[in-house]
Amino acid sequence: MSQVIDGTGLTADDVAAIRGTIEPWTNACVRRDWDRLLGMCTDDIVFLPPNEPAVEGGGVRPWLDNFPTIKAMSIEMEHIEGAGQVACVRGSVKMTLDISGQQVAFDGKYIDVFRKQPDGKWCFAQVMWNANTAA
């Protein structure tokens, strides 16, 4: 269940729009539709994956192309807060990854920073996640 911090300056429409990113994001990841995924991101998106340096700029697309195949993915938004044009979301993520033919379960948590664009669309600006247990 999502928690919205009162008095954050986010409208109900803002919160609904941010929550509405879950299904398109997970679908794009599972389908490896990186164009759709990047279309949900700001032009200066930064990925902060576990045990790796930050991925940004021209390195984003090649990094996505080399990401293991995601066979299944579920995301829960547990906390949303923000003000004005910026929102922060915290939650949990579960994935089944295909790594060299092996099905590997990933159970983790994430923090995403969203920025509201001039057209009113909320886009991912920073995406950070890690595992709940050591690998």
pLDDT of residue 7: 45
pLDDT digits (tens, 9 = 90+) for 61-75: 999 999 999 999 999
Domain boundaries, the chain: 12-131
pTM of the model: 0.91
Q: Is the CATH number 3.40.1080.10 carried by domain 12-131? A: no
Q: Are strands 41-48 and 122-131 parallel, antiparallel or unpaired?
A: parallel
pLDDT digits (tens, 9 = 90+) for 77-132: 999 999 989 999 999 999 999 999 999 999 999 999 999 999 999 999 999 999 99
Distant-in-sequence, close-in-space partners of 66: CB < 8 Å, separation ≥ 6:
none
Sign of CA pseudo-dihedral 28, 13, 47, 76: negative
Q: How many residues does the chain have?
A: 135
Asked if the model's pLDDT at residue 135 lies above 70, the reply is no
Q: Are strands 122-131 and 69-83 parallel, antiparallel or unpaired?
A: unpaired
Three-state SS string over 49-83 comes to CCCCCCEEHHHHHHHHHHCCEEEEEEEEEEEEEEE
Asked if the model's pLDDT at residue 17 lies above 90, the reply is yes
